[in-house]
Amino acid sequence: MNSMTGFGRASAQTSDARWVVEIRSVNNKGLDVKVRLGESDPFCENEIGKLLRQAFERGSVVLNVRKESLTTTDSVARAKLVATYQELVEVAWELGVAAPVTMDTVAAFLGQHQPAEASAVRAEALWEILRPAVEQAVSELQVARRREGDALLRDCRKRATVIETLVTQLRRETRDLPQRAMRKLEERLVQLKGTPGLDATRLAQEVALLAERLDVTEELVRLDTHLGHLMKLVGGDVAGEKPAVGNANPSVSTSSTGIGRRLDFLLQEVGRELNTLNAKSPDATIAGMVIDAKLELEKIREQAQNIE
């Protein structure tokens, strides 16, 4: 199970430049991909975007590429300035120019005689340089998301176990709920016996309807089914998760539905059955158990918002 929060970083280097690739992701209902290159390159942006969409299903994913030049250092720049200044002084002396050579003169000279910058890397060539770094950064992000996802998994499993325990207690408490309600109603009827206008037949019908309304067997069966699926989902790794880009072919996806979406659906179903059970059971003890179960359910729901 993966979360949607994490960070990855890697770099690629040529003889004169280094490209730093940084990628981060945060929560999002769907998949939102943004690619930010230092220099616009539609081909490269498109290739990176395709790789990210193959690697992730949910989350807001932002990948930044920053280019750093390796050809100019402080010492090289200083030596060039000194050499240029000395050359200009010699030329001025040879020509008999009385005006002193200033740093402004040196700067103007260097600006006019700066060698043409090598052609910028573009399209396929740039992608071939960046691809290993992008894949490594994505792999690091996947590792970070899996690490946080494991922590979320443990928390969800613990809370789902609490809900299972509460449902077991609810089954015990509701087992004779209709009978208890009928006995209470019969005691009340004894007190009302002889009251003018009392229709015994109508009361018998009401008692039967009350017993039917208080029967929560179906809700408990459905709860068991949904909780079984929930425990299976949070009980460990689920087949079909996407492979790490750095270790496998990112173009292969074996899952079309993320765990987070399946978890959302199951949580809705469990919550619906708990609400129905609570509405059908006027007992205060049962209501307290349902509230406790719904609190744990809501905490799982919060965690599920960060699960891919």
Element (H, E) at 253: none
Residue 41 in any domain: the answer is: yes
Tell me phi and psi for residue 281, to 5 degrees: -120, 105
- Looking at the fold, whether 202 and 133 belong to one and the same domain comes out as no
Residue 84 has pLDDT above 70, yes or no: yes
Here the CATH number for the domain that contains residue 54 is: 3.30.230.40
Element (H, E) at 243: none
- Looking at the fold, whether 39 and 54 belong to one and the same domain comes out as yes
pLDDT of residue 33: 96
Residue 48 in any domain: the answer is: yes
Residue 1 in any domain: the answer is: no
- Looking at the fold, whether 161 and 290 belong to one and the same domain comes out as yes
- Looking at the fold, whether 194 and 294 belong to one and the same domain comes out as yes
- Looking at the fold, whether 203 and 82 belong to one and the same domain comes out as no
> What string of H, E and C letters represents the secondary structure of 131-155?
HHHHHHHHHHHHHHHHHHHHHHHHH
Residue ranges making up the domain that contains 197: 147-304
Please choose, from the candidates 162, 290, 138, 280, the residue with its C-alpha nearest in 3D space to the C-alpha of residue 216. 280
pLDDT of residue 109: 76
Residue 153 in any domain: the answer is: yes
- Looking at the fold, whether 98 and 53 belong to one and the same domain comes out as no
Residue 264 in any domain: the answer is: yes
| pLDDT (tens digit per residue) in 92-133 | 888 888 888 888 887 777 765 554 444 455 678 889 999 999
pLDDT of residue 66: 92
- Tell me the pLDDT band of 206, cut-offs 50, 70 and 90: low
Give the whole-angstrom CA distance, residue 283 versus residue 147.
43
How buried is 104 (Cβ within 10 angstroms: 0-12 exposed, 13-18 middle, 19+ buried)? exposed
Total of domains in the chain:
3
Give the whole-angstrom CA distance, residue 250 versus residue 54.
6
Residue 208 Cα distances to 13, 168, 174, 180, angstroms:
81, 26, 17, 13
pLDDT of residue 253: 36
| pLDDT (tens digit per residue) in 8-54 | 999 998 877 899 999 999 988 889 999 998 777 889 999 999 999 99
- Looking at the fold, whether 190 and 211 belong to one and the same domain comes out as yes
Residue 120 in any domain: the answer is: no
| pLDDT (tens digit per residue) in 12-21 | 988 778 999 9
Give the whole-angstrom CA distance, residue 129 versus residue 18.
10
- Looking at the fold, whether 66 and 200 belong to one and the same domain comes out as no
- Looking at the fold, whether 94 and 238 belong to one and the same domain comes out as no
- How much is the mean pLDDT over the chain? 80
- Looking at the fold, whether 189 and 272 belong to one and the same domain comes out as yes
Which segment, 151-165, 167-181, 194-208, is predicted with the most confidence on average? 151-165
Residue 284 has pLDDT above 90, yes or no: no
Residue 64 in any domain: the answer is: yes
- Looking at the fold, whether 159 and 293 belong to one and the same domain comes out as yes
Residue, of 189 and 73, whose pLDDT is higher? 189
- Looking at the fold, whether 168 and 243 belong to one and the same domain comes out as yes
Residue 28 in any domain: the answer is: yes
Residue 250 has pLDDT above 80, yes or no: no
